[in-house]
Structure 1
Amino acid sequence: MSNPEPVESGPLEPPAVVFARLADVPLDALDKLLETTHAVYDDLNRVLGHPYWADLVYHQGAAIKALKEARVSLEGLRAEAIGARNTELGITVTTAVVDGERHYAQTEDDKAALVDRVLRPQQPGACHLYVWDRPHVDPEAPGPYVQMRIVTDTEAEVGVLNFTEESEDGEMQSWHTLNPQPLPEAPALRFDAGSTLRFPRNAVLPFRDLRAALDEFTRTGQRPEAVRWQPARWGDL
């Protein structure tokens, strides 16, 4: 018996191309299927009491549950594929949470605009920046291991950065900025609106230093070297 002919696999595709194709999952079609399956319930109510009614309701409910689980899995597949593609291409995405809304940027100009936005929020309270291989869309889902908290006094054009990093084992480390020459009139900024925690006064820096650190963070995703840091501590110090 002769050996089978070898199968020619053809030229290998770049991984980024494969990941981009994996990210193109049919979420719209699944949403339409969910909508249609939900709509079946109206028809089921019209045959209430029929001998088959209970089994039909059971299977309709099971189908909706399975479709919802499938959607969660497909969303996870798409998110991981986007992250893998961006990593292959050397792309990072900056996510800013400002005034309760999320904003995303990939280009240098858009990232710089996000930095300006977090320095000058419209409402009191902390803003946050994340740098990841994809947009950080869902705060309840596993996300990036680092976070930058920004608290500013927009009138005085000063503020504080708090950098938090989580290890794969779940251990948290946190640092505040450190001003080696504390500002004479530095405010004791709150950790967040309504919080009793206050940053030490020697953590307060002018906007020019904060902007330099945040610009660096959006490029590297690491604790910036443009400013000095101190282990996180609290109090009017």
Structure 2
Amino acid sequence: MTTIETGTVITGVLGHEFHYARTPEETADLVETVLNTRYSQIYVWDRPCLSFRDENGPSFPHARVRITVAPDDGWGALNHMDARPEAVNGEAVDSYNPHATEEMPALLFDPEGQLFFPASASLPLDQARQAITEYCRTGQRPSCVQWQPGQWY
């Protein structure tokens, strides 16, 4: 069997639509699109992710970043999940804003249900942009923001 080197593919699931980025320019555009879409997920892999609607789908890596934004209010929240067997008990963490106040918006974690991020997960969009960009570049939990324990939803 022949393997073709594809490099890294960033898959953005915005609502139920799959978007792919392979170049730095496409990735920068995808990050900005994510920051203007209320609910998204980002996967970094050596191939495109596939929906269950695809002939060979579903197909996803073990880790992802889930993003909820309130673009008009300037806030976003992130959840990093890593379900690899070698991850200790798996990992589910939410972004953490040590300067959070009671006035922080409650951002919806799951558009299909009534699950919300804690208010302390709300970050200014510039910080969310930095974290999403870092994740797209490294495929690892971003280190440019702080994290707090999350839940497996």
- Fold-level similarity (TM above 0.5): yes
The match for 1:36 is: none
Misfit runs of 4+, over 4 Å: none
The match for 1:150 is: 67
| Amino acid aligned to 1:227 | V
Which structure 2 residue ranges, 5 or more long, are not aligned?
none
Which of 123, 142, 148 in structure 2 is aligned with 1:230?
148
The match for 2:128 is: 210
Secondary structure of 1:127's match? strand
Deviation at residue 194 of structure 1 after TM alignment:
4.5
Q: CA deviation digits over 1:140-199, x for unaligned, max 9?
A: 434211111000111101010000001236953200000011145211111122422111
The match for 1:220 is: 138
TM-score (norm: length of structure 2): 0.87
The match for 1:141 is: 58
Q: Does 1:173 align with 2:76?
A: no
Deviation at residue 138 of structure 1 after TM alignment:
3.4
The match for 1:29 is: none
| Amino acid aligned to 2:16 | G
Structure number with higher relative contact order (C-alpha < 8 Å, ≥ 6 residues apart) = 2
Q: For residues 182 and 233 of structure 1, what CA distance do their matches in structure 2 show?
A: 19
Which of 104, 107, 113 in structure 2 is aligned with 1:189?
107
| Amino acid aligned to 1:146 | A
The match for 1:32 is: none
2:63–2:84 Cα contact (<8 Å) kept = no
1:214–1:224 Cα contact (<8 Å) kept = yes
Q: For residues 22 and 101 of structure 2, what CA distance do their matches in structure 1 show?
A: 34
2:8–2:45 Cα contact (<8 Å) kept = yes
Q: Select the structure that is richer in helix.
A: 1
Q: Select the structure that is richer in strand.
A: 2
Aligned residues: 147
2:49–2:59 Cα contact (<8 Å) kept = no
2:41–2:67 Cα contact (<8 Å) kept = yes
2:62–2:84 Cα contact (<8 Å) kept = yes
Q: For residues 120 and 142 of structure 1, what CA distance do their matches in structure 2 show?
A: 26
TM-score (norm: length of structure 1): 0.57
What percentage of residue pairs aligned between the two structures are identical? 37
2:67–2:77 Cα contact (<8 Å) kept = yes
Q: Does 1:119 align with 2:35?
A: yes
2:41–2:65 Cα contact (<8 Å) kept = yes
Q: Which has the larger radius of gyration?
A: 1
Q: For residues 91 and 51 of structure 2, what CA distance do their matches in structure 1 show?
A: 22
1:130–1:136 Cα contact (<8 Å) kept = yes
Which structure 1 residue ranges, 5 or more long, are not aligned?
1-18, 23-80
